[in-house]
């Protein structure tokens, strides 16, 4: 009983579906179902634990998730969407990166096509960092959008996407989410979500945009490798574990933002961004390569550039990363 007609991803996904309700499942029953040994089931469970699932075992009872999870389900997401008939959705189990998936398949996609995954093994963050992506704990979502007018049309896009997320969160009663320039979403001084926009194309031609969003929903307590203070939705709203509903809210908000941005640019989003600015009038440092520029945050200009009041006066910056100053 060692070879099975099912591949590993299929078996692991099916094991998680059985465990999702939070009840015990015996290794023997699982093995019989897939035509593999209990030892093989044990190896699949180890892989799932490495992917971030909190599974424990009790002798004589089997395996159990520390708490039940709601798995992503394409049909449920579609039911929650404003326009399910025109939505294009790919829901995956485990993938290296949803941004990478879009990059490899965008030739066959229309604007607004979304890819979601339960876990990412090589989730990408900004500035070449890794995005920690434990199984079933968060939303890992990427949307494809092709801009026929090319790179020059993209100024402020990442800020507009931040506004789209803040608006989506209002639908579940989170009204105090804030934005750290250019597009981190903050809650109670900690990072709740991040946005990574990747662009492909040639100057003067259409460009392909991949808008990637990572939103912490219910991170396992044993996550250790996130390098900055973070928060998840569950610590604020313990009952809100419905990732399918949340995914639909984000997709609807992002789709309408992308449509409006393509037609009107960043202008319609400036005021909302300014209202949510977490560092408005706060002392901050801007890390620009090897240089550090100190000043007070003075919001953004109409193009989305960061305004910093420095010793030399008010300066606008298109790039860099904000770090907090003690005073």
Q: Which residues are catalytic?
A: 126, 191, 325
- DSSP 8-state assignment for residue 294: E
Shortest CB 195 distance to ligand BTN, Å: 6
The upper half-sphere exposure of residue 223, i.e. CA atoms within 13 Å in the direction of its Cβ, equals 22
Alpha carbon 259 to chain centroid, angstroms? 20
Is 123 or 297 the residue whose CB approaches ligand BTN more closely? Answer: 123
Q: Are 73 and 85 in contact (CB under 8 A)?
A: no
Shortest CB 125 distance to ligand BTN, Å: 3
Q: For residues 27 and 63, what is the distance between their CA atoms, to the nearest angstrom?
A: 7
Is 156 or 212 the residue whose CB approaches ligand BTN more closely? Answer: 212
Is 69 or 114 the residue whose CB approaches ligand BTN more closely? Answer: 114
Is 212 or 265 the residue whose CB approaches ligand BTN more closely? Answer: 212
Residue 16's nearest CA partner among 59, 56, 45, 58 is 45
Q: For residues 74 and 93, what is the distance between their CA atoms, to the nearest angstrom?
A: 11
Q: For residues 293 and 307, what is the distance between their CA atoms, to the nearest angstrom?
A: 12
Give the containing element (helix H, strand E) for 147. strand 138-147
User: Measured over all CA atoms, what is the biggest interatomic distance in the chain, rounded to whole angstroms?
Assistant: 74
Is 114 or 284 the residue whose CB approaches ligand BTN more closely? Answer: 114
Shortest CB 127 distance to ligand BTN, Å: 7
Shortest CB 11 distance to ligand BTN, Å: 25
- Neighbouring CB atoms inside 10 A of 61's CB total 12
- Residue 309 pairs with which residues in a beta bridge? 296, 314
Closest-by-Cβ residue to ligand BTN is: 194
Shortest CB 103 distance to ligand BTN, Å: 10
Is 40 or 115 the residue whose CB approaches ligand BTN more closely? Answer: 115
Shortest CB 284 distance to ligand BTN, Å: 17
Supply 196's token pair. Answer: 């990574």
Q: For residues 97 and 123, what is the distance between their CA atoms, to the nearest angstrom?
A: 5
Q: For residues 126 and 142, what is the distance between their CA atoms, to the nearest angstrom?
A: 14
Is 27 or 182 the residue whose CB approaches ligand BTN more closely? Answer: 182
- Strands (DSSP E) contained in 175-311 are 178-180, 184-187, 190-201, 207-216, 283-288, 291-300, 306-310
Q: For residues 278 and 268, what is the distance between their CA atoms, to the nearest angstrom?
A: 20
Shortest CB 85 distance to ligand BTN, Å: 25
Angle at 301 between CA 291 and CA 214, to 5 degrees: 70
The upper half-sphere exposure of residue 180, i.e. CA atoms within 13 Å in the direction of its Cβ, equals 21
Contact residues for ligand BTN, defined by CB under 6 A? 97-99, 120, 123-126, 129, 131, 140-142, 184, 194-196, 212-214
């Amino acid at each position: 009983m060692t070879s099975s007609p099912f591949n590993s991803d299929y078996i692991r996904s099916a094991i998680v579906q059985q465990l999702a309700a939070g009840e015990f499942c015996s290794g023997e029953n699982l093995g019989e179902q897939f035509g593999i040994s209990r030892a093989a089931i044990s190896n699949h469970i180890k892989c799932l634990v490495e992917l971030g699932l909190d599974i424990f075992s009790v002798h004589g009872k089997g395996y159990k998730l520390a708490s039940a999870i709601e798995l992503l389900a394409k049909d449920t997401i579609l039911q929650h969407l404003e326009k399910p008939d025109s939505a294009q959705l790919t829901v995956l189990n485990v993938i290296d990166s949803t941004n990478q998936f879009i990059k490899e398949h965008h030739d066959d996609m229309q604007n607004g096509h979304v890819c979601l995954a339960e876990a990412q093994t090589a989730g990408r963050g900004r500035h070449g960092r890794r995005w920690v992506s434990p199984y079933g704990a968060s939303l890992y979502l990427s949307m494809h959008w092709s801009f026929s007018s090319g790179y020059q049309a993209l100024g402020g896009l990442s800020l507009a996407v931040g506004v789209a997320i803040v608006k989506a969160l209002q639908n579940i009663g989170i009204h105090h989410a804030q934005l750290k320039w250019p597009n981190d979403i903050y809650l109670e001084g900690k990072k709740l979500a991040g946005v990574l926009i990747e662009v492909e194309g040639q100057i003067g031609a259409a460009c392909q945009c991949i808008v990637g969003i990572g939103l912490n929903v219910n991170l396992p307590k044993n996550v250790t490798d996130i390098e900055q203070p973070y928060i998840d939705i569950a610590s604020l709203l313990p009952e809100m574990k419905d990732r399918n509903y949340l995914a639909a809210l984000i997709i609807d908000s992002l789709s309408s933002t992308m449509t409006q941005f393509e037609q009107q640019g960043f202008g319609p989003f400036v005021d909302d961004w300014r209202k949510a600015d977490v560092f408005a009038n706060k002392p901050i440092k801007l890390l620009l390569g090897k240089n550090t520029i100190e000043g007070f945050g003075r919001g953004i200009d109409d193009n989305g550039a960061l305004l910093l009041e420095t010793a030399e006066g008010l300066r606008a910056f298109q790039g860099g990363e904000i770090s907090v100053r003690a005073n």
